[in-house]
A and B are shown apart, each in its own frame.
Chain A
Amino acid sequence: MNCSSLDLKAYIVGEASAAERQQVESHAAACAGCREELASLALTRDSLLMMRDEEVPRRIAFVSDQVFAPRWWQRVWRSGPQLGFASAAMLSAALLVHAFVRPMPASAPSLSAPQISQAQIEKEVDARVDLAVAKAVAASQAQQLSKTAELLQTAEQRYDSERRTEMAAVAGNLDILYKQVARSYAANNQLTGGQ
């Protein structure tokens, strides 16, 4: 295998196929020059990865803007559930209108008792709906907080693990390089007779 036919950089940046990786590894096992080149490239890559990402100084966020937001009918039209809800609301409204405008029977009972009853029912329904909404919001917020805490913990653990892995990789590469330098010094000393 010729040294120049191997793409060592593709190997280092993770673009080599499985076959190419195997070729590079078997060649490097027998070729000191390529082994040294691979070690230098790995050291360079690991040094680059020591640069940590900075936090964004200010959060980027958008508020609802009429210029960009779709019109209400576009939102309704694009959403199946909303469209269904709107249809149901229109049907309910039609039924209510029909109920109020239809002619009353001649022998209609007194309105005072049903009116009081209706008001009470509406009040009770409102109270129950408010309670249900408050419960749903509280549950949603609690779930969100829990999820955020969980995500934060996972992210911290992953960051710590990545840092340890990278440190180990750098230490390993430095180790190889240092040993090579030491061997060069030793060989040089032998050649020069220790002078």
Chain B
Amino acid sequence: MIFREVEDRDLIARARRGNVDAYNLLVSRWEKKIFNYLLRLTGNREDALDLSQDVFLKAYQNLARLDDVDRFSSWLFRIAHNEAYSLLRKNRPEGELVGDVVTAESSGRLFPIELTLAVDSALKRLSDDQREAVLLKVYQGFKFDEMAEILSCPVSTVKSRLYTALDLLKQTLAPVSASARGPKNVLNENLRGVE
């Protein structure tokens, strides 16, 4: 991780001097994370791809304004957050469910499809704010203070959104997870034992 951060810093320095190849390399490192974050936030692949382009273009144009290169990731996600919310506000009222479905077919064929679909569906039932808190913490691994910086809100708000989301997800996912076929179907074995 440290090695990677050092390399990012070097690429940022070169990109600031106008080296487009260095910036393209930086993009190739982060595009998948940004694209998936935007995909799960907007629920639409085309929107996510367009927004990803916009995010990296804005980042390039404003690279000189990045004060602390070690905080490049949270700075980049902050741009992505702003871009996504501009679109969400334009396209649909606050809190409305996301329309498109991120199908299980394209995400995780190795795992039980029922569970993947349930996760997808459960995430869509959250509000935009709650879903974004889950995306930043569970999928991107940001700390609470970094999330607060990205979302421009206090840490207490970040925690509140995340904890509410986890409670809602737990209600939906725990029963499904328990009934999904795991590597060992212990439940069925145990149930047979007590019948």
Q: Interface of A with B (CB < 8 Å)?
A: 9-10, 12-15, 40-41, 43-65, 68-70, 74-75, 78-79, 163, 167, 170-171, 174-175, 177-179, 181-182, 185-186, 189
Report B57-72 residues with CB < 8 Å from chain A CB: 57, 60-61
Inter-subunit contact B187/A181 (CB<8 Å): yes
Name the CB-closest residue of B to A69: B18
> Could you tell me the distance in whole angstroms from the C-beta of A140 to the nearest C-beta in chain B?
13
Inter-subunit contact A50/B184 (CB<8 Å): no
Inter-subunit contact B116/A63 (CB<8 Å): no
Report B163-181 residues with CB < 8 Å from chain A CB: 163, 166, 169-170, 173-174, 176-178
Inter-subunit contact B186/A179 (CB<8 Å): yes
Inter-subunit contact A182/B61 (CB<8 Å): no
Q: How many Å lie between the Cα of A13 and that of B140 in the bound state?
A: 12
> Main secondary structure on chain B at its contact with chain A?
helix
Inter-subunit contact A170/B182 (CB<8 Å): yes
Inter-subunit contact A52/B177 (CB<8 Å): no
Of the listed stretches B20-28, B76-84, B92-100, chain A binds B20-28
Q: Interface of B with A (CB < 8 Å)?
A: 17-18, 20, 23-24, 27-28, 31-33, 35-36, 39-40, 45, 49, 52-53, 56-57, 60-61, 102, 106-108, 110-111, 115-116, 118-120, 123, 134, 137-139, 141, 143-144, 159, 162-163, 166, 169-170, 173-174, 176-178, 182-184, 186-187, 189-191, 193-194
> Could you tell me the distance in whole angstroms from the C-beta of B134 to the nearest C-beta in chain A?
7
Inter-subunit contact B49/A57 (CB<8 Å): yes
Inter-subunit contact A15/B20 (CB<8 Å): no
Q: How many Å lie between the Cα of A55 and that of B36 in the bound state?
A: 8
Inter-subunit contact B119/A43 (CB<8 Å): no
Q: How many Å lie between the Cα of A54 and that of B37 in the bound state?
A: 10
Q: How many Å lie between the Cα of A78 and that of B139 in the bound state?
A: 38
Inter-subunit contact A43/B177 (CB<8 Å): yes
Inter-subunit contact A62/B18 (CB<8 Å): no
23 A-B residue contacts at CB 8 Å? A43-B177, A43-B178, A44-B166, A44-B174, A47-B119, A50-B111, A50-B115, A51-B123, A52-B107, A52-B110, A54-B106, A54-B107, A56-B52, A59-B28, A61-B24, A61-B27, A68-B61, A75-B18, A79-B17, A174-B184, A178-B186, A179-B186, A179-B190
Name the CB-closest residue of A to B35: A56
Return chain A residues, CB-CB under 8 Å to B111.
Answer: 50, 52
A-B residue pairs, 10 tightest by C-beta: A182-B190, A178-B186, A52-B108, A178-B187, A70-B18, A174-B182, A185-B194, A53-B36, A44-B170, A56-B35
